[in-house]
Structure 1
Amino acid sequence: MGIPETILGQLVQVFKSEGIERHTEEELMERLGIQQSDYNALFSGKADMVRQVVQHDLYLGEQRDQELLQSARNPVEEIILLLLHGIKELQAISPAYIYDMQQYHPQVWQLCLDHLNSYNHDLNFGVLNKGVVQGYFRKDINLQLVTKIILEQFNLIINPHVFPPDRYDMGEVFRSIYLYYVRGLCTDKGSRLAEEYFSKNNI
C-alpha cells in the first residue's frame, strides 16, 4: 500500500468515527503527521480531500464485499453476509459522517447514492438471480423490483428525517427491515438455510 492509500485509509477512519466537519484541514494534517506540501500534492482543498476519501472508502467496501461472497457457501448465505456486514458498518459509523456529507458535501453524497444505485444494484441483483437459478429464492419474485426495493429500503434507513440517528439505532433499524425481508424471498430450501444461519449466529 502506497503513502496516498495509507493517508486515505487513515482519513476514512477519522471521518467514520468522528464525522467530516469536526476537524479543520490543519488539524487533520497535524493528527496524521502530514506536511503542508504533501497535503497540497495530494489534495486541491478540503472538498477534493473529502471526495477522494469517500471514493477510497467505496473501493475498500467493494473489496470487502468480494471477500464476503467468496466465503459464502450459497446465495442465501451471500445475501445474509452482505446484510450483516451492512449492519456492522452502520453500527460502527458516527451519525455525523453521513450527516456531514448530506449537509456540507452534497456532491460527494450524490456520488455515494450513484454508487448505491449502480454497483450495489448489480451486486444484489446478481446474488438474487443466482439464488433463484439454484432454487434458494422463489422463482416468482420480480428481480428488478426486489433489487429496487432493497436499495430503496437502504435509502429509507439513512434518511435522518425518517430515522433520526439520535433516536434510533441504525443497526437495529437495518436488521428489522432487511433480515425479515430475506425470509420472504426464500423457498423452503432457502428458508431452512436462512433459519439455520440465523440461529447459529444468534441473529
Structure 2
Amino acid sequence: MNQTLRETLLEEALLLFQTKGIVNLPLEQIMTTLDISPTTFREMFRDKEDLALQIMHYDIARQKREHTELFARVPDPVGRILSLLELGIRDLRKVKSPDYFSDLIQHYPAAWAVGMQHLDDYSYPQIHGLLNDGVVQKFLRGDINITLVSKIIIEQLNMVLNEQVFPPSRYDVAEVFRSVYLYYIRGLCTDEGIKAASAYFARM
C-alpha cells in the first residue's frame, strides 16, 4: 500500500509516542524526529493534541484492515478470536514507554474517547458475533451468556490498562493482556474448540 505523507508521519509519530510517551515529548523534538518543518507540521496538525487524535484514527483504521485480512485467512471463530488476541499482544509489545497509556487517558481525552468509542461501536459487535458463531459451531460452550461475556472481554481491557491494578513499573502490559485473555478464552472453549485452536494455545 502506497502511503501518503500524512500516513507515514502518523505511523512514525505513533511509534515515537509509544517509545517516549507523549506529555514529556516537546513538540520541537517531535518535528525533528519526523523530519518536518514547523510549517509542514502546522499544515497537517493544529497541535500535539490534534496529532494524538489523528494517530488514534489512523491506528484504528490500520487495525480494521488487519482484521479484514485476518478473517480472510482464518475461517473458524475461535481461531479468529485467538488471532485477534495475538495481534493485541503484538501491538502492546510495541509500547515501550510506561507513560503512553496514562498520558493518553489523563492528558489527551479526545483521542482516548475515540479509542473507547471504537471498542463500543466495533470491537463489542465483533466479539459478540464471533462468540455467537463459536457457540453455533460448538467450538464454544453452549451455556455462555454471549452478551455478558462480550462485555466482560471489553471491560477486561480497561482492567489491563488500569495503572492502579497493574502498575507498568511492575507488570508488562502485553503479558498481563496475554494472561487475562488467553486463559479466559480457553475456559470458554469446548473440547472440540480446544483441539481446533491447539496450535494457537501452544504458541501463545
Q: TM-score, normalised by structure 2?
A: 0.91
Q: Is the 8 A contact 1:183 1:194 kept in 2?
A: no
Which residue identity is paired with 1:103? Q
Gaps of 5+ in 1: none
Matched, 1:131 2:137: no
CA RMSD of aligned residues (A): 1.5
Q: Is the 8 A contact 1:121 1:147 kept in 2?
A: yes
Q: Which runs of 4+ in 1 moved over 4 A?
A: none
Matched, 1:170 2:173: yes
SS of 1:48's equivalent?
helix
How far off is 1:82 after superposition?
0.8
Measure the CA separation in 1 of the matches of 2:43 and 2:64. 27
Gaps of 5+ in 2: none
How far off is 1:196 after superposition?
4.2
How far off is 1:167 after superposition?
0.7
Q: Give 1:46's aligned residue.
A: 48
Q: Is the 8 A contact 1:87 1:174 kept in 2?
A: yes
| Aligned pairs for 1:137-176 within 5 A | 137-176=140-179
Percent identity among equivalent residues? 40
Q: Give 1:9's aligned residue.
A: 11
**What does the per-residue CA deviation read over 1:72-102, in whole Å, with 9 as the maximum and x for residues that have no partner?**
2411111111112212222221322111111
**Greater Cα shift, 141-150 or 73-82:** 73-82
How far off is 1:71 after superposition?
2.3
Measure the CA separation in 1 of the matches of 2:53 and 2:35. 20
Q: Give 1:33's aligned residue.
A: 35
Measure the CA separation in 2 of the matches of 1:171 and 1:50. 22
Q: How many residues align?
A: 201
Measure the CA separation in 1 of the matches of 2:200 and 2:44. 45
How far off is 1:63 after superposition?
1.5
Measure the CA separation in 2 of the matches of 1:17 and 1:126. 34
SS of 2:197's equivalent?
helix
How far off is 1:190 after superposition?
0.7
Measure the CA separation in 2 of the matches of 1:146 and 1:32. 42
